[in-house]
Structure 1
Amino acid sequence: MTKRFVSETTDCDFKAHVEHSRPKSWLKSVSAFANTIGGTVVFGIDDSTHEAIGIDNPQAEIEFISRMIHDRIDPIPHFEIALSGERAGAVIELRVPAGTHPPHYYRADGRREAYVRNGDRSELISSEHLNELILRGTNQTWDSLVSGISMDRASFTVLRAGYALRTGHDIDDADLISFGLVTDDGGYLTNAGALLADEPLIRHSRLFCTRWTGTRKEDPTDDGEFSGSLLTLLREGEAFVKRHNILSWKKTPNSRINLRCYSERAITEALVNALVHRSYLDLGSEVHIDMYDDRVDIISPGSMMKGPLPKDVMSTHVESHRRNPIVCDIFSRMNLMERRGTGLREICSATAAEDGYRSEFKPLFENGPHDFYVTLWNMKFERTPQVAPQVAPQVAPQVAPQVERLLRVMGNETLSLSDIMGRMGLSDKKNFRESYLVPALRSAVIEMTIPDKPNSSLQKYRRTHEA
């Protein structure tokens, strides 16, 4: 019986043959797996049917695979090669765990390139992600590096006051050194110290807040740009959302039910997550709070350290990988976060605890190639019924937020399914089709380039005129 493999994912790549003339076609996946969460390249799988078609002379191919990895991947990652299946349809499985000394480069033809996995694709690494891998490979983190900013330029009034209020203890200059905020000689700030100082010493450590009219980025009614200590950014972000977090109540025979647009605890948890886990290597980037009539999006630069993001964070444990461990330690000491990887679960739990919660208000998390998104739904928003086309054909159709995000990612380009998923940082094709692609097609905001052959391997998608 022919074995059928399900699909390519973030940790699985299919190849029909072992390419000898173009070994880069599969070696870039070796680099990508070693630089991210690990994975398996399966040789001998038909591209369209995902059925095992087998490999001729597997022993010779295994030797070639091993030789190419040793010759063209630097440093050489740990890997295992195994045969799977019956002899006539045997496939080669090349298993590559996450590397311990990244980045792992592909080197040939005068090139030296590093790759990462985005969705089901192996892509060239961005400069900021490459810098993170270099730091990880040398057992360093960005927030531990010396900033070059003299201690004389900084004050820690906000940190000292907040720490005393939340813990009952004072911070002295020796604590600043032991916490990793100041160098051992007391002369310079680390990057973590620069982030927590009162002054805006790191320009791109900023928070941009906007309240938009409607459900798209149109006609802002309120905005704010904030800089300074991360604790200041947290306080200002909470205050901005609270201004628009309308509270009402409903009386019952025995009690009063408070109805909020958003859980305040969920907002705080999402903001802390955005500020402490963001990538500060992406110069010119900021954390954004975008509030709409139906939701609030909190967007932080940098994807998750190690993915992919589980489909359901409530039932699946999310490993705790801290991009900025010194900053995380300070926030943990102040009881503003925990360090066990339950932050996303806490956002969901806090939202579900609200009196106005319904299942459709479950928070949405998206791990994009360059950013991490948290979407909290307005639990008091009532969608306006769509106007019938014969009454008002000029009115654009109402679409779900997932479809709006798909449209933003597509822009005006014509893209394949794997291209779209890669840009959105998604790997679950079934969930992508059900939550994004099919609703977008039904809403007539996107269309197929080959509508007569919906399952064509050449199929792509583009915006319609209505979108």
Structure 2
Amino acid sequence: MGTDVDIALLVKELCHHDAETEWIEFKTNNSDAEMIGQRISALANSACRLGIPTAYMVWGVDDKTHDVIGSSFRYRLEKRGNEELENWLHHQLTDNASFEFAEDVVCEKHVTVLMVQAAFCHTVDFERVPYIRVGSYTKKLREYPVIESEVWSRITKSDFESIAAKGGLTLPDALSLLDFPKYFDLLGAPMPQSRDEVAHYLCDDEIILRQDDGRYAVTNLGAILLAKNLKDFPTVARKALRLVQYKGRGRSEILRSKDYEGGYAVEFESAVEMIMALTPSKEDIIGAVRVQTTAYPERAIREILANALIHQDLTVTGSGPVVEVFSDRVDFTNPGTSLVDLMRLVDNPPRSRNQKLASLMRRFRFCEELGTGWDRIISSCEALYLPAPKAVEYEGAGGSVRISLLAYVPYRSMSLRDRVMACYWHACICFTNGETMTNKSLRCRFGEGGPSSSTVSKLLATAVGDGLIKPVDPETAPRYMRYVPAWA
């Protein structure tokens, strides 16, 4: 959907249909708000059932002859009580209703088009009642149990990524909204010489879709990955990556803030570079060579950022992934709860609620779908003797997950909880590598000047007491004791 659609061309294409269908309706001057609300519900649910990205209602076209006759309907002037029609409709429809009005002059006559996106996640209801189109009639969905079953079957099989973010576009208009050269660059493939060839590849990966009427739609997947500007796509505009740097350890004073306008594939590298630039680094002289040491491993930054983008719940409205840089940590927050237990991130098989997004991000070489991302994050932090990253899940408003990379602190300055979690994740990494944790390996994990053997023994006993690790053989002598995660 989008107001930059050629309305005149769209209307002419819709008029080519022999009769009203379940996804097209023609009106003259009917401006009844209740009628419009019911039609939005019916058209959205019918489009979902038929697998069509966008349905339409057109004022100014005769429903029998399909002649353009013009209309006196002006949606901007219509009100329900003291509220503008469009706002009132949003309040009466369920939160997954996505629609847009547009106006133009066609054949020297005023025409208004209502573009309605297909229902996703659940049915689109008006005043808590779902409607459906049966032929050219609008009916309550519950009165047609077979059709209702078909709608819900389509909803359960559909995914947010495949839904049209903006439809009714000519191919040049669709391509103009996307940084499609980036797509071929990231795949290491040569750029096709014609638009039709470009469209062939983008359609194969569901970046764009060819509609039945010959126009094109950019999918949510295409928009969120390759949009030149996410604000061009209302369904994903709030999913833009945001980067914020604060002064000190709290959020009371913002030093800088940046909202990345482009899609994730377009902005990923620049976002990583900016995060690394905002975190402290130092230069050491090793031999005759200057070596720059960063506060956080770039490998961990890349992995956590990619995971935050891929594993977010795209259906949670009003929020997107956020990176916050503090003096002592970097927080990565994404909307949606975790699909796996946060304490089992190392060994669990890979799972993603956004399969197409994850697949393309892997092909773009931003991540792997092997379930080894957390292993690499832990290992890279251990290599710099950093505290173990923190993973926290928050409830409310769809939930969210926050991963925190912590800056280096000496062992004596670490909290007991941080010490215990470092012990736990070290045991996990050893286990996945086919090894076992020992007193010596844990001492090495904390680096030179770290805890003594007796101090580590006490730490191991605490981790055992907390139910995080267990000895392989409880009867062996203390100096030969080996440990694995409690779940092993």
TM-score of the two chains, using structure 1 as the length reference:
0.48
TM-score of the two chains, using structure 2 as the length reference:
0.46
